[in-house]
Structure formats: structure tokens, C-alpha cells
Copies of this chain bind each other. A is one copy, B any other.
């Protein structure tokens, strides 16, 4: 098998002690220039690499961070991951990515697994199903740094990074209203998620501003957040059958937006003739849909970067951090054909 060079090998070959080698390599001051150079040169020649596992054991940290998301196959998350990765890489951290597929059980298992793998910190966007976060709380109480992004929880006081979901939803809804639609429904993710709540508030605020009464039956929660297409189909079917069928739809989720487009197609409803839609999505192909999709896009890459930065800062902070921030990024409304009034 693969046998990397270790300090002992170098020490033996050079007839010095292991500690001399270690000190030379780590740039210790108390080493003679001459010895250091010899060691350095030899180590270089043998392509010596520190064994990170031994180092972790020694330092009692792993230089790795755990990432918990619902799915990589989601444009928002895959972009966020790239952002996280870019920062982590720069700072010498590795990332463990785990997927919950929106299941609370898998989230618990993943978090458990990661913490037992001694990650130095956790970056998490909660699963749709998760309502109770004692699995995170206990870890956090024990001192494990955690930074929330996207779907956050008020129950743990720590850094959080989110998009301005309220404003994004508000703008999208206003755009629908200004385009001439009045019967605007809202399909969104699990009711307890922070993102769902904020987006709902934005939607309601826009209706309110234009004095459009809000119909409770126009608000539909998809508890699986688009993970299960049948649920999305059912939501659309429900809207389609209403006597006072909506003429527009504001969708509060990445997976849901494409899911609704697909469901509407199955229902035989034309977009935007029968019903206009605008939705949160970071898809890079929203332009190509039939019709092209008016989208609320989040700066997912930057959100990932910021979250990683904050986590690493937390990890590397000498004294316990007590001041926590919630960083908020602006969304962008990209108007396309799915909200054209015809």
C-alpha cells in the first residue's frame, strides 16, 4: 500500500531526531540555518507531507467543516456549495457535504455523523421536515460552532446568512400586480421554515400595499418543498379547480418553481395566458423554459462564501464569541415571459 514519508524516515536518514525535523519543517526559530536547510531539502526531495490525521489528533481539530443541505441537485445549493468551497479551500479547510433530502431523520443522522467525524464546525440549511432542532442545540451548547444559512432557526443564537427573502417575495409579487394580475396565489415550502415565513410576509405586504385582499385558500404549503412532485401536482390541481381560479402564482422555492411549471403543464394550463408565474429559483436555464421564467434569484455563491467565512472565524476565534450577526443579501428579480400579461 501507499506509504507516505514520515518525520521518522527523514530523521533516520539524516541522523537527527524527529523533533529537529519537525522544528525545521515548521519553521521553528531554534534551529541552525544549516540543519534546517538540509532537512528542508531532503523533505522536499522525498515530497514529504504532514499527516493531517496525526495533526488533527494532536491539535484536536480536523480542519474540516460539515455542510448539511437538502440536495446538491438544486441550483441554489450547488451554487452555495461552490461558494463555501472557494473560501474553505483558501483557508485550508475541507468540506464534508451531506444531503438530507428534506428528511429530519437524515438530518439528525448526518449531523451526528459529521460531529462524530470531528468536524470543526457546521454549515447548515435545515431540512423541510425539521421542526425540532435539539440535535443541533446540544452540539452547539457543547461548543461546536454552527452557522446557519438559507433556512435558519431562531432557536440557536449564532451567525446566520440569508437572502432578503421578504424583499425578494415583495418585489416579485409587486411585479405581478403591476403586470395587471389581481388573483395572485402563493405556493411555498414547509410552513415552519424561515424562508417560507419571510417569503409569505413579502407576498402579503405586496398585496396589502395594493389593497388586494388576501385569500387564505390562495396560500398553499408544500411541506416537502417540491421534493415530491405529486405534492406539487396536488397543489396546482387544487388551485386549478377553484371557482375563482388565480390568474397568477408566486412560488417560494427553487425546486417548487420548476415543479409548478411541470404541474401546470400536466393540468393543461397555459403560462402566462391562463396563469402567470414568478418564483424563487437560481436555475441557470430559467431562460430556456416554456415560457421563460420570471425568477427571484439569490446570490447563492456569495451566501455560501459569507457563511463559510463566518464559520471559520468562529472556529478560529480564541475567545468565545458572544456577538452574533445575521447577514442578509439582496435578491434579484429577473423578469421574463412567464409574467407577461396577455
Which residues on A are within 8 Å of B, measured CB to CB? Answer: 1-4, 49-54, 56-57, 62, 71-73, 75, 78-79, 81-82, 85, 89, 94-99, 113, 116-118, 139, 142-144, 258, 261-262, 265, 283-285, 287-292
Contact = CB atoms under 8 A, between A and B. Distances in A.
A252 B73 CA distance: 21
Contacts of A97: 95, 97
A230 to B, nearest CB: 15
14 contacts: A3-B142, A51-B118, A52-B116, A54-B57, A71-B82, A72-B72, A73-B78, A73-B82, A85-B98, A95-B96, A258-B284, A283-B285, A290-B290, A290-B292
A85 B2 CA distance: 24
A16 to B, nearest CB: 23
Contacts of A53: 53, 56-57, 62, 118
Nearest to A264: B288
Copies in the complex: 2
A115 to B, nearest CB: 8
Contacts of A262: 285, 287-288
A99 B117 contact: no
Report which residue of A2, A71, A85, A116 has the largest number of chain B beta carbons within 10 angstroms of its beta carbon: A2
Contacts of A96: 94-96
Contacts of A79: 73
A139 B2 CA distance: 8
Contact of A52 (B1, B71, B72, B118): B118
Contact of A2 (B78, B89, B144, B287): B144
